[in-house]
Amino acid sequence: MPNRKDLPFLLSLLEDDSRIVREQVKSALIEFGNELEQIVAPYFKQLDNESKEKIALICDEIRQIEFSSTWLSWLDIKDSKSSLEYALIRLAYFEFGSRAFLIEDILTQLSNEFLHSGLERTPANLMAFLFQHKGFRSPRKDDNNYLNHNLLYVITNKEGSQVLLSCLAIILGARVGLQLDGINIQGNFMAFSYEEKKMQMFNSFNKGKPLARASVIYIEEAFRRNQIAPLQMKACVHEIILQVIKGIVEAHHVNGDSDSAKEYIDLYSILSNTLKERNIL
């Protein structure tokens, strides 16, 4: 990998008359990998528009290379919560590049804040912490913003889709030692806990409040009639990720962005085919 001190020299050769030099410069910049976006930032103001565009294209190429090589590695992570967190971070990386790596720091900060809040460590208190104290909520204006399905956007803007908000609670729960899972019920995706044979379901679109016990009992009885244990209904990680990608595709279609929709349709297809090859789907 080239030395960072060489960066100003490399940037000065972006518009060199020689095609060979330009290609060598591009190759050298690509070797910086994910770091390029950050280390080039102090020099950005000094570049002309054409050079800025070239850097943006190089960063995008790096992102595509990195993403392609690591995208499906979450399928090999045995712990479901770690797998979910990694998959959502990779999807955020696909959109935002290296900025997506901020997610881990923010999750750590939220975890520590909850643990030092003085609240008893229970699923209900975690949901109240996120959706009442911290103010995470449903989208304020645009339900069809595709970024509502992006974890970086959700944790920095404190709003998002019901799936992503529930996933945030599930991931944070795992980090603080609480068992939460996701479940699709009547068109809603909710986080739920199951302790001492008692199920609690939480609606992230209603300030994280638990569903009324009578409603949960009705759902549990429906499970029993069909001889299904509540934990059998929890959404698997691959089901959640497919649901998230589908939400992004639908949002892009609503906004008339067919090119961006196709990028995520391709991701959906790659994941679906891999799941079929592994006899998971």
What is the count of structural domains for the chain?
A: 2
Question: Which pLDDT band holds residue 163 (cuts at 50, 70, 90)?
Answer: very high
Here the tokens at position 237 are 């990680």
* pLDDT score for 1: 66
Note whether 100 and 115 are same-domain residues.
Answer: yes
Note whether 201 and 242 are same-domain residues.
Answer: yes
> Do β-strands 209-210 and 198-203 pair in parallel, antiparallel, or remain unpaired?
antiparallel
- The 10s digit of each residue's pLDDT in 102-159 is 999 999 999 999 999 999 999 999 999 999 999 999 999 899 999 999 999 999 999 9
Note whether 47 and 112 are same-domain residues.
Answer: no
Note whether 269 and 165 are same-domain residues.
Answer: yes
* pLDDT score for 195: 79
CA distance 81 to 181: 9
Residue 177 has pLDDT above 70, yes or no: yes
Q: Where is pLDDT greater, at 50 or 230?
A: 50
Rounded mean pLDDT, 40-54: 89
CA distance 77 to 237: 11
- The 10s digit of each residue's pLDDT in 76-107 is 999 999 999 999 999 999 999 888 989 999 99
Rounded mean pLDDT, 61-65: 87
Q: Would you say 39 and 7 are in contact if contact means Cβ atoms under 8 Å apart?
A: yes
* pLDDT score for 3: 82
Q: Would you say 107 and 152 are in contact if contact means Cβ atoms under 8 Å apart?
A: no
Rounded mean pLDDT, 216-243: 88
Residue 65 has pLDDT above 90, yes or no: no
CA distance 51 to 11: 8
CA distance 206 to 114: 20
Note whether 82 and 218 are same-domain residues.
Answer: yes
Rounded mean pLDDT, 52-64: 89
* pLDDT score for 78: 96
* Residues contacting 248, CB < 8 A, separation 6+: 146, 149, 150, 264
Residue 233 has pLDDT above 90, yes or no: no
Which domain, by its residues, includes 86? 77-277
Note whether 124 and 256 are same-domain residues.
Answer: yes
CA distance 170 to 174: 6
Identify which of 172, 176, 165 has the alpha carbon closest to the alpha carbon of residue 208.
Answer: 165
Q: Give the end of a domain, one of 29, 48, 70.
A: 70
Mean pLDDT of the chain: 93
* pLDDT score for 81: 97
Here the tokens at position 64 are 């595509």
Q: Where is pLDDT greater, at 2 or 216?
A: 216
Rounded mean pLDDT, 53-81: 91
Note whether 108 and 16 are same-domain residues.
Answer: no
Q: Give the end of a domain, one of 47, 70, 93.
A: 70
Note whether 169 and 35 are same-domain residues.
Answer: no
Note whether 99 and 118 are same-domain residues.
Answer: yes
Tell me how far apart the 2 most distant CA atoms of the chain are, in Å.
75
Identify which of 253, 254, 248 has the alpha carbon closest to the alpha carbon of residue 268.
Answer: 248
Q: Give the end of a domain, one of 13, 44, 70.
A: 70
Which run of H or of E encompasses 250?
A: helix 237-254
Note whether 64 and 188 are same-domain residues.
Answer: no
Note whether 65 and 88 are same-domain residues.
Answer: no
Note whether 48 and 170 are same-domain residues.
Answer: no
